[in-house]
Amino acid sequence: DIRLALSLMLRSALAELLRRYPVSLAAGSTEQQCLRNLQAAHGEPLPILYLQRLIQAWISTAWAHRPVDAETVRTLLADWEQISAEEAANA
C-alpha cells in the first residue's frame, strides 16, 4: 500500500527532523507549512531537501490521487536510510 507507506515515512521523517531541527509549529500545520518553517529556520540541509521530495510524493498520492510508483517509495526509503546513516556517522 503506497499511501500507507508514504504516510508512515512522512510521520517518521517529520518526527526525526523536528527533533534535529526544532521549529515552532501551529496545531494543524500542513505538510507544506512544516517544510516552509523548517526551511526558514534551518535552510536546506540534505534532510530537509529529502523531506521536500517526500512531501511531494505524499501530496501527489494522498491529495492529488496520482500515486507514485513503488520504485519511488523504495528510493525514498533508501535515501532516508543513507541520510540517517551519514548523519549518525558525523554526530
| C-alpha torsion 22→26→32→36, nearest 10 | -50
Sign of CA dihedral 16, 17, 23, 25: negative
For the cut 90, the answer to whether the pLDDT of residue 88 exceeds it is no
pLDDT, one tens digit per residue, over 46-85 is 999 999 999 999 999 999 999 999 999 999 999 999 999 9
Enumerate residues 6+ apart whose C-beta is below 8 A from 19.
Answer: none
Angle between helix 70-90 and 2-20 (nearest 10): 20
Is residue 61 helix, strand or coil?
Answer: helix
pLDDT, one tens digit per residue, over 17-53 is 999 999 999 999 999 999 999 999 999 999 999 999 9
